[in-house]
Amino acid sequence: MVGAQNQAAVDGACALNILRDLKNTVNTYVPHAPVNRQRQIFFSVVTEGPIHELWVHYQIDEAYHMTLLRIWRTTIPKEAREFVRSPGKILSWGDLTGIETALRQQRTE
């Protein structure tokens, strides 16, 4: 499990860098885009056999962090159902409407 967690840490840091670069690109090419000052976060799932862990990745200043949110053992039916529902809950938090709105405004100018 430690190897998978280490891989998730590296991948999470890379994903945060990509999110930062996308934000910088929007700010460069859509100068009137709404400024998003919220902390960028990224989620990952680490698995080994029936054990599944949900981690959140974030950055504070120059340091990358990851925090364990939940562990499920998918051989237990209740935990398997909870694990399967978790990505849907995470996806419902995502919101691309700010980017879409900025791009629409740019096209009309």
Q: What is the mean pLDDT of each run of 10 residues along the chain (109 residues)?
A: 83 88 80 68 90 91 90 95 88 60 62
CA 56, CA 65: separation in Å to the nearest integer?
A: 8
Give the position of tokens 């409407």.
97
Q: What is the pLDDT of residue 97?
A: 54
Residues 6+ apart with CB under 8 A from 87: 45
Query: How many other CB atoms are found less than 10 A from the CB of residue 101?
Result: 13
Q: What is the pLDDT of residue 27?
A: 75
